[in-house]
Structures are given as structure tokens and as C-alpha cells.
Amino acid sequence: MTNTENDTPVEDGATEDTEAAEAVAAEPQDEAADAAEQIAALQQDLLYARAETQNVTRRKDKEIADAHAYAATKFARDILSVADNLGRALASLGEEQRANEAIKPLVTGLEATERELMSVFERHGITRIAAIGLPLDPNQHQAMLEIPSDKEPGTIVQEMQAGYMMKDRLLRPAMVGVAKKPD
């Protein structure tokens, strides 16, 4: 067998030794490349794990803040019926009844109770939703009926039940009557 570069005879054993030496030299390079790939993959996994941890922490903090801010939502919804009944009781009283000396202390007490209830609502971020004269907003109003009117169609002309918000959340939509073109 001859070497093609300089035409000197080369033994078969020498060729095998050269190939073995090249294989031994390539092994550390392959191992170094594999180790570098593993390190890069582990660093990427670490970055993803840190990002996920931050996201979980942010979500947890938001859920805790929401729980504190809206803890009384169910109670607030329940107490709205008390406010409705108190308002209906006061609305049912005519001027004659309000002027009647026999029930005047009762009327005064009901009015004071209503003012205090509205004050408590205000302190806890519960506000009444404006309705009459505004365009229907399906996020805050629930149209119960259409009423023929000379007002712009879609304008609220009657409120059957007040709606309320707690901070930025809807507690209960206002039940309203909406204007439509007369027939």
C-alpha cells in the first residue's frame, strides 16, 4: 500500500493508528460540544423557570388583592334588596303622609336609615349606576321593555330597579325601560 501524497509505502497498521488517534482527539471535542449544549439547555430551562415563578407570584398577588377588594361582594348583593325595599317604602309615602305628625318620626327614621345605608355603600366603593336619559349600555343596564317615546331609540326612559357597581365590578345591572319609535 502506498501513500498517494508522496508515494511512500505505508503499512496497514499505520493507517489504523492514525484513524484511532483522530477518533481519540475527536472524542474530547464531541464531549465538550455536548456539554456546551447541555449547559445552554439548562440555562434556558432556568430562565423559563424563573419567568414562570415570577408569573405565579404576580398572579397570586393579584388574586390576594382582588380577594381583599371584593370579599364583601356576595354580602353587598344581598344587602341591595334591603336598600331597594327601604327606597320603595319611602317612595310610597305621599306628601300628606310625610306631613302627618303621627308618622313623621317614622319617616324621619327611614330617611336617616337610607342616608346611612348609602353612606356605608359609598365607603365600601358601592355606587349606583346612572340610567335615566342615558343610552343603553348592556354592560350596566338590562333592558326589560321598550316604551314608545319621542326620545332617541335606545335611550333609557324608565328605571324599574337600580343597578350598582362595586369599585369596577358590576354587582347588579339596572333594570330599565328603553325608548323606541312610536308606532
At residue 165, the pLDDT reads 93
Q: Count H helices, E strands: the chain?
A: 4, 6
For strands 164-166 and 169-172, give the pairing.
Answer: antiparallel
Q: End of a domain among 48, 69, 90?
A: 69
Do 44 and 82 have their domain in common? no
Do 126 and 174 have their domain in common? yes
Do 19 and 109 have their domain in common? no
User: Strand, helix or coil at 85?
Assistant: helix
At residue 95, the pLDDT reads 84
Prediction pTM value: 0.62
Amino acid at 49: A
Do 92 and 19 have their domain in common? no
Q: End of a domain among 35, 69, 103?
A: 69
Do 128 and 148 have their domain in common? yes
Count how many domains the chain has: 2
Do 59 and 107 have their domain in common? no
Do 45 and 57 have their domain in common? yes
Do 60 and 78 have their domain in common? no
Would you give per-residue pLDDT tens digits along the chain (183 residues)?
Answer: 444 545 555 555 556 666 655 655 557 778 888 889 999 999 999 999 999 999 999 999 999 988 887 788 888 889 999 999 999 989 888 888 888 888 889 889 999 999 999 999 999 889 999 999 999 999 999 999 999 988 889 899 999 999 999 988 899 999 999 998 887
For strands 126-128 and 164-166, give the pairing.
Answer: antiparallel
Longest Cα–Cα distance in the chain: 134
Do 171 and 141 have their domain in common? yes
Q: End of a domain among 43, 69, 95?
A: 69
Q: What's CA 18's distance to the chain center, in Å?
A: 69
Domain that holds residue 146: 73-180
At residue 21, the pLDDT reads 58
Reported in sequence order, the residue ranges of 5-140 that DSSP labels E, i.e. its strands, are: 126-128
CB 155 within 8 A of CB 136: yes
Residue 164: Cβ-neighbour burial (10 angstroms; 0-12, 13-18, 19+): buried
Do 84 and 32 have their domain in common? no
Do 173 and 88 have their domain in common? yes
Do 101 and 135 have their domain in common? yes
Q: What's CA 141's distance to the chain center, in Å?
A: 20
Residue 82: Cβ-neighbour burial (10 angstroms; 0-12, 13-18, 19+): exposed
Q: What is the CATH number of the domain that holds 125?
A: 2.30.22.10
Q: What's CA 84's distance to the chain center, in Å?
A: 28
